Amino acid sequence: MSDQHRLDAPDPDPDEQRGQRHTAGAFDIRNFIGALLGLYGLILLVMGIFGDQALQKTGGVNANLWAGIVLLAMSAFFFVWARIKPIIVPAHVEPVDDDPARPAPKRRPSGD
C-alpha cells in the first residue's frame, strides 16, 4: 500500500521548494563588510564636513569627505548585493566526521 501511495504522490513543485529556501540573512559576510565600510565612511564624512580639512596636505581636496562618500557608496553596494543575490543555505548538511589528524579534541559518541 505504501508503494502505491508513493507512485500516486505528485512530485514536489520546484516553485514551492524555491519559496522554502533558507538564506544566510544577517549572517551573510557581505552585510558585515557593508556595515564596517558604512561605519568608517560615516566617520570620514563627518570629519570631512566638521573636522580639520587639511587642504594644504591634499592639494586642495577634502580627502576625508570624498573618501567617506566613496566608502558609503561601497557600503550601499554590498548591502544591495547581499539583498539581490542572497546566499542559500543547504537544507540538510551532514555532520563532519572526526579527522584523526585534526588537533582539536575528539567528539564524544552521541550514545554516552
Which stretches of the chain drop beneath a pLDDT of 50? 13, 15
User: Does residue 17 lie within any of the structural domains?
Assistant: no
Residue 70's domain comprises 25-88
Sign of the torsion formed by the C-alpha atoms of 34, 40, 42 and 45: negative
Q: Residue 32: its pLDDT value, please?
A: 95
Domain count, the chain: 1
What pTM did the predictor assign?
0.62
User: Does residue 7 lie within any of the structural domains?
Assistant: no
User: Does residue 8 lie within any of the structural domains?
Assistant: no
User: Does residue 42 lie within any of the structural domains?
Assistant: yes
From 78, 75, 10, 14, select the one nearest 39 (Cα to Cα). Answer: 75
Q: Residue 105: its pLDDT value, please?
A: 66
